[in-house]
Amino acid sequence: MNEAALRYLKYVLATAESGSMRSTAKALGVRESTVSRNIGTLEQQLDIQIFQRGHNGVRLTGEGRDWIESVRGHYDGLEEALSHTARRNKEHDKLRIGLSAPFGREFLIRLIDRFEKAYPDVDITIQDGACHKQASAIRRRHLDIAFMCDGFDTPACRFETIWEEGMAALLPARHPLAGKSALTWADLAGERLLVPQGADGPLLDPCLIPPIRDNDRSPIIEQCQACQATVILKIQIGKGFTITGASFAKGVSIEGTVWRPITGQGTTGVVKAVWLESNPKRAVLRLLGMARNMAATRKPLAD
């Protein structure tokens, strides 16, 4: 059924309910002559008289009433199908992104900013959380794509390494190690690595713990029942240190603390993109393509 036929039906059904072409025109925001002309065109095509016109409005003819009864169910079903398609297409204009890696923040900020400028009609939402929560949300289609630590297994999903960068430690400014230009895990042996505990798990994902502990000498990992702000306060008063990606450390200054790069084995943070192959949204593939191009044209940040 073409667009014109749907329009004719809309005018006929609205007029049948209101009993007035004038009322239909007012309700639909068109001229009364437009309603009358379109209904007349349909009557000519069907070779029946649907309405009897009069000074006080219109009324259905017997033939018109029978015809409307025969097509009303088909029209309602088609209208619902069209509305469903419109809602689905509108949903395609949304891109839901998950973040669960402490690395690549500067890269991801540039990526999302560039994507929003290239595709301003796509509504982007961002949520953070532990890797296992993000992977579950991808499989349940609550997220379209997530950027997470490379060491986490993501069954049933596609994944691709997007970015690599070094790690940095946030130390109290008066800490003895603050005088060094760079640190190793051996330097940090015995120090308390503070990991904030979020609502769905530690914000330093467990997949990062083994590389830290694989060293002969490693920090003491302490899970804190505290938010990131409280962890930073504990660092400021000398109760430990925390780690993040080099790009975040490069752009953030926190009073009473210093950032120092961590070098050596197990000090590279890897970010992978995770998505479903069956996700129909073009925006996902566009974001992935843009991420690949950006990663190919810029070297990872040094330690």
pLDDT tens digits along 184-221: 988 998 899 988 775 554 455 555 666 566 666 678 88
Q: Are residues 69 and 184 in the same domain?
A: no
Model pLDDT, residue 215:
60
Model pLDDT, residue 298:
66
Burial 129-150 (b: 16+ CB within 10 A, else e): bbbbbbbebbeeeebbbbbbbb
Q: Are residues 13 and 128 in the same domain?
A: no
Q: Are residues 163 and 62 in the same domain?
A: no
Strand partners, 221: 193
| 303 within domain boundaries | no
Q: CATH code at 42?
A: 1.10.10.10
Q: How many residues does the chain have?
A: 303
- Domain extent, residue 116, equals 94-297
Phi then psi for residue 181, to 5 deg, are: -80, -25
Q: Are residues 207 and 63 in the same domain?
A: no
pLDDT in tens, 58-100: 999 999 888 888 887 777 666 665 555 555 554 458 899 998 8
Model pLDDT, residue 222:
85
The tally of domains found in the chain comes to: 2
Phi then psi for residue 77, to 5 deg, are: -65, -40
Supply the pTM of this predicted model.
0.63
Tell me the average confidence (pLDDT) per consecutive run of 10 residues in the chain, 303 residues long. Answer: 72 88 90 91 90 88 88 68 54 82 86 94 88 88 90 85 92 95 91 75 56 69 81 93 88 93 87 90 92 79 43
Cα separation, 89 vs 82, whole angstroms: 10
Cα separation, 40 vs 49, whole angstroms: 9
Model pLDDT, residue 296:
87
Q: Are residues 61 and 199 in the same domain?
A: no
- How many C-beta atoms surround the C-beta of residue 15 within 10 A? 25
Q: Which of 91, 117, 148 is the last residue before a domain boundary?
A: 91
Q: Are residues 34 and 176 in the same domain?
A: no
Q: Are residues 76 and 162 in the same domain?
A: no
Q: Are residues 178 and 277 in the same domain?
A: yes
Burial 34-57 (b: 16+ CB within 10 A, else e): ebbebbeebbeeeeeebbeeeeee
Q: Are residues 124 and 254 in the same domain?
A: yes
Model pLDDT, residue 82:
56
Cα pseudo-dihedral 287, 290, 291, 297, rounded to 10: 180
SS3 192: strand
Q: Are residues 82 and 108 in the same domain?
A: no
Which residues have C-beta within 8 Å of that of residue 129, sequence separation ≥ 6? 98, 100, 137, 198, 200
Q: Are residues 113 and 249 in the same domain?
A: yes
Nearest to residue 108, comparing CAs of 284, 247, 215? 247
Cα separation, 232 vs 223, whole angstroms: 14
Helix axis angle for 3-18 and 32-46, nearest 10°, is: 110
